Amino acid sequence: MKFSMIILFFSFSSVINFVLVQSATLEISKFGGKPNTNIAKALTSAWAEACASTSAVKIVIPSGTYQMTHVDVKGPCKAPIEIQLDGTIKAPPKPEDVGGDQLLRIGYVNALTISGKGVIDGQGSYAWKQNDCSKNTKCKLLGMNLGFNFINNSIIRGITTKDSKHFHVNVLGCNNFTFDGFKVSTPGDSANTDGIHIGRSTGVNILNTDIATGDDCVSLGDGSRQVLVQNVKCGPGHGISIGSLGKYKEEESVDGITIKGCTLKGTTNGVRIKTWPNEPGTITVTNMRFEDITMDNVMNPIIIDQEYCPWNQCSKQNPSKIKISKVIIKDIKGTSGTKEGIILACSSGVPCEGVEISNVDLTFKGAPVIATCSNVKPKITGKAPACSAPSTKKE
């Protein structure tokens, strides 16, 4: 095995420290991984050797184009592992040929690094045509590019995920997990291709990342805590969303989300909290902070939607049971694609509390936007539109 220096990532109290360690290098070719071949078995074998090593190991996938079917690797491992991806990995175009619900799934690892200038290409255009979620409430999920389950103290940097069939990245049960200099690339008409979805994870950071997709650039599911989304460029896409929440009884509360220093361009929403009406979930959403955000022709720049009901596939007979509190909306500027630049449609059953709006400078066709508010009395300071009652009910 070759030896090189790698940088490992650790996070403690929101501080990123970098530690130099000596590492062994495993070339994917050692295990039969060659360009223009399926490297699923080679990567699995390389992982097994790296995971068994008592010293740090870097797995290298060099420049070139590779095919890959479903790979599912996991720890616990005995030492840190880095995967350096400099090539392009292509999934089979047909979902049924991938062999799993995620192209690459990694679980139960501490101190993982994925780095490089490479691309994971889900070749999703064939699958997008099969998406029928707008008509079918039990629609089949068509497969993700990356899945990270129960991973701690780790970083993903530099690589690109392209044209995933479904979500690009799913983060579940992770702690102190960072994306930095990451990229998501998908056309705006690709349904259900969320960029990064986070659930039941604490201390996730999404930094210096560009996301172009056909759904939410970042979506924060139940159990998301202490998440920072900073210096993210979003567009096309549906914006940066907390939720949807409340559809299931066993969900966990959301606490401590900061969206800061981001730019959204041509998206259908800006920053959004969305919860389902008439559903059993009773969690809380608290300590939300949306700050220093630029909107460029965004249809709904700031929105709380507690009547979220896509494609009219639900009932609004009863209000949402999700309690939203302590929401700060501060220093938002740019242009809106609609006159109603701020929509706060809170639940009549559990009205929003502790909402503060300050220094919101948004315009629509050159004129200041308006704010419509229901079941909430926000504190408004600085330059920001005053609340008025909605004139029509929005879906």
**181 CB-side CA count, 13 A:** 9
- pLDDT tens, N- to C-terminus, the chain (395 residues): 544 433 344 443 333 443 445 579 999 999 999 999 999 999 999 999 999 999 999 999 999 999 999 999 999 999 999 999 999 999 999 999 999 999 999 999 999 999 999 999 999 999 998 876 666 666 677 899 999 999 999 999 999 999 999 999 999 999 999 999 999 999 999 999 999 999 999 999 999 999 999 999 999 999 999 999 999 999 999 999 999 999 999 999 999 999 999 999 999 999 999 999 999 999 999 999 999 999 999 999 999 999 999 877 788 889 999 999 999 999 999 999 999 999 999 999 999 999 999 999 999 999 999 999 999 999 999 999 999 998 754 43
Of the candidates 218, 164, 211, which has an alpha carbon nearest to the alpha carbon of residue 191? 164
Give the whole-angstrom CA distance, residue 212 versus residue 293. Answer: 17
In sequence order, what DSSP letters do the residues of 301-334 get, joined into one string?
SEEEETT--GGG-S--SS----EEEEEEEEEEEE
Give the whole-angstrom CA distance, residue 119 versus residue 89. Answer: 6
Does the annotation mark 238 as catalytic? yes
Q: Which pair of structure tokens corresponds to residue 202?
A: 């604490």
**pTM for this prediction:** 0.92
**Domains located in the chain, CATH noted:** 216-395 (2.160.20.10)
Annotated catalytic residue, options 166, 168, 197, 238: 238
Of the candidates 127, 267, 258, 148, which has an alpha carbon nearest to the alpha carbon of residue 211? 267
Find the helix or strand (DSSP H, E) in which 125 lies.
helix 125-128
